[in-house]
Structure 1
Amino acid sequence: MTHKISPVPFLVSLLFCLWSPLAQGQVDSIAMDSVAKEPFHDQLLNTADDVLDWMSTDTWSFIPVVTYSPETSLGLGLGAIKVFKPQVGASERLRPSSMPITFIYTLKKQAILEMDIDLWKNDNRDFFNASLELANYPFEFYGIGNDLPADNMEDYSSRYFYLRLNYMRKILPNVYVGPWMEYRTEEVYKKEEGGLLAGGTIPGSNSPQVAGIGLKINYDSRNDIFQPDKGSFHQVSWITYHDFFGSDYTYNRYEVDLRKYIPVWKNKVLAVQGYWSFVDGVAPFQQTSLLGGSKRMRGYFEGRYRDQLAMVYQAELRMPIYRSLGLVFFGSTGQVAEKLSQYGFDRFHYGAGFGFRYKFMDEGINIRIDFGFGDQTAFYFGLNEVI
């Protein structure tokens, strides 16, 4: 799950990192005359580096998170990430494995826990990925279709458990193939009276459970998994959900994700993506093809538009600014449809924005702060790149 976070986390976390007395107490003492000669922006970056170092161990790095929205009230949380190589004496070619974890709890007793692991082994011949989510959180539902007014929005809250497992084996240079499974059970416990979800006619409005097994094929020639500046990542996936696996709904989902990384002038990188999703059969609305959120079309709420099919095109221009700081400009366009014949050039939605990056690990992992502009202005806070 991806979710929009208000500007408060960045501002509060930044102030905390730069000015808290506790942080200042941990910074190595420096002669006053040398501090005075150091530019103010360097002092800020040095302090931020020292605080993040203080909050980290030899194996884990931690980031405080503070959120606020009318639906959730004040939320406090912690992000953590571990980057490692699971095999002692592994070759330099072995890609780093990673394990990010995020937990947020709000004053309205809402909570979300997200855990992922990407594990590379055997000189990059074997790859394992797992994702786990537990949540009790508010969401927005606008209906099904590509032309839905903003006043269609209705709030709902749900509790859900989500698990995804994926193993891939390298069969050719840069080519990986392997099975994957997905399981999600959800209780939609709060709906707006008189709304579409309360009417019970929308698939998924009455606490769905889905389970499926599928296949993925990857082509991965990126020169770096965290900060690629050349190469490609292409993925084709298929998954089938069936009552044989314990699913309440029977349907298939197909996805194609094509990404290319192009070095341009003076250490700048252009990242482009084309994404297509197709659902065959009746799926709960939570599992339909959709636009919006932090991964596809920033500036739109996740699920702002959803239907059987979706297409999204995105581009990002990434550039360094100074030391650990970077700047990103991005744009996107996309649409959803019930069937292929409904796609049209006049049905695209558009989004754009900019963001800042702070590299806080030698492996190239960034703190990501994005401002997206679509049918709303949205702020996103996370780790690693979107594309």
Structure 2
Amino acid sequence: MKKTVLFLAIFMLLGQNSFAQEVLEPERKVGVFESLFDFGDTVIDFISGEKWAIIPAVVYSPETSLGIGARAIRVFRYQNDTSAILRPSTLPITFLYTLNNQTIFTTELDLWANENSDYLNARIELSNFPFRYYGIGNVPVLDEGEFYTTRFFYFHLNYERKIARGIYLGPRYEFRADQIRDRVPGGVLETTQPLGFDGQRLSGLGLVLNHDTRDNIFQPTRGWNNSFSWMEFSSIIGSNFDFGQYVLDFRKYLNIHGQQVVALQSWWSFTSGNAPFQHLSLIGGSERMRGYFEGRYRDRSAMVHQAEYRVPIYRNFGMVFFGHGGQVAQESKEFNWGRFRYGGGFGFRYKLNQEGLNIRLDIAFGDQRAFYFGLNEVI
């Protein structure tokens, strides 16, 4: 849900710079279009130091409304290993404040080491987050949603070790504590009282199995990125809800012509036991089903299928076209063609560095028209 609009700011500045060049240097043969991209690269180089890129963030999405903040991101190789074998690691730090009075701080380490034999991912998030509750099921109880506020702390740690070519396996730990506030008096959340309506503390252990043969972690043009995760939240390790969650995520990348790429994803989530409403399987938001509010549809089981067509336009600038369909259900046997929700849209990309990290702007159509700004690809 963290988005940045540096992309738009760059192009507003580009126009001013190119005009000045045409006036002051009429004899120069460089065209306006070329000047735009030269200046864009200059701006990117300016904000990208040797170790950190500092990106001012003006954000917008249906979940956050308009917000401002900053993001710092470091792309590096562990222990300064510059070999082509070792994948780049990332460390983004983000702070945002939105017109919905949401305050969000996140940092996430994505670390590759030992010639890609070891992978470590750790995330910390602190948020004061007014949000909307629509009810549970494939047909929302509330069309517009009911506001509530959750203050939460979230942490996860995931370590994976390569056990065969392209196969990684390892443990995962998650912790989340929520304080639910500002419920609508007499509203659906208070009257129906789903599990977790007055807060939650979750602590869980699990395993993650990955099959990863991508040729690039930021901009893959071929290969697979498949994962299966199993998490068990239990009172034995401090959780006040006992439940399990299983997620299957299949992704395939196809180079169809030149640098044109088709990315495909099939995502499935299944929840068992006594899961709080905020941790049910849900769809919507900037990662799955753009054009639908995050959590508008939630239940014990969910599926989403997505496809993107990525095409370079000029130098560091490109476009994507995407479509998706998804649904939720009480039980997986209820899945059927008639329950699907569909959407699609298009977007613009501007490459930040040679590793392939992108700024993205997406315009999506689902049960609403929505705009999303962010870093890196969705699939």
Give the TM-score, by structure 1 length: 0.91
Matched AA of 2:220: P
TM-aligned CA deviation for residue 34 of structure 1: 6.4
Select 1:93's aligned residue among 85, 95, 99.
85
Select 2:216's aligned residue among 203, 220, 224.
224
SS of corresponding position for 2:282: strand
Select 1:349's aligned residue among 329, 341, 349.
341
Which aligned pairs between 1:44-59 and structure 2 lie closer than 5 A?
A: 44-59=36-51
The answer on 1:62 being equivalent to 2:59 is no
TM-aligned CA deviation for residue 132 of structure 1: 1.2
Change beyond 3 A, Cα 1:113–1:226: same
User: Structure 2 CA distance, aligned partners of 1:182 and 1:330?
Assistant: 31
User: Structure 1 CA distance, aligned partners of 2:236 and 2:320?
Assistant: 45
Matched AA of 2:279: Q
Matched AA of 2:272: D
Which aligned pairs between 1:275-314 and structure 2 lie closer than 5 A?
A: 275-314=267-306
TM-aligned CA deviation for residue 276 of structure 1: 0.5
Are the equivalent residues in 2 in contact too, given 1:236–1:257 (CA < 8 A)? Answer: yes
Change beyond 3 A, Cα 1:119–1:34: farther
Partner residue of 2:9? 13
The answer on 1:131 being equivalent to 2:133 is no
Matched AA of 1:13: A
The answer on 1:260 being equivalent to 2:256 is no
Q: What is the root-mean-square deviation in Å for CA atoms of aligned residues?
A: 2.4
Which aligned pairs between 1:1-387 and structure 2 lie closer than 5 A?
A: 2=1, 9=5, 13-14=9-10, 17-18=13-14, 32-33=24-25, 37-67=29-59, 75-89=67-81, 91-106=83-98, 110-148=102-140, 151=143, 153-199=145-191, 201-387=193-379
Instruction: Work out the percentage of aligned pairs sharing the same amino acid.
Output: 47
User: Structure 1 CA distance, aligned partners of 2:27 and 2:356?
Assistant: 28
Matched AA of 2:375: L
User: Structure 1 CA distance, aligned partners of 2:324 and 2:60?
Assistant: 26
SS of corresponding position for 1:244: helix
Change beyond 3 A, Cα 1:343–1:368: same
Are the equivalent residues in 2 in contact too, given 1:176–1:219 (CA < 8 A)? Answer: yes
Q: Once the two structures are superposed, what CA deviation does each residue of 1:50-79 show, in whole Å capped at 9, x if it has no partner?
A: 222222211011221123689977532112
TM-aligned CA deviation for residue 197 of structure 1: 1.7
User: Structure 2 CA distance, aligned partners of 1:67 and 1:226?
Assistant: 21
Change beyond 3 A, Cα 1:73–1:239: closer
Are the equivalent residues in 2 in contact too, given 1:145–1:336 (CA < 8 A)? Answer: yes
Gaps of 5+ in 2: none
Change beyond 3 A, Cα 1:88–1:110: closer
Change beyond 3 A, Cα 1:69–1:95: closer
Give the TM-score, by structure 2 length: 0.93
Q: Once the two structures are superposed, what CA deviation does each residue of 1:248-285 show, in whole Å capped at 9, x if it has no partner?
A: 10000001000000110232100001110000111111
Deviates more, 1:282-291 or 1:90-99: 90-99
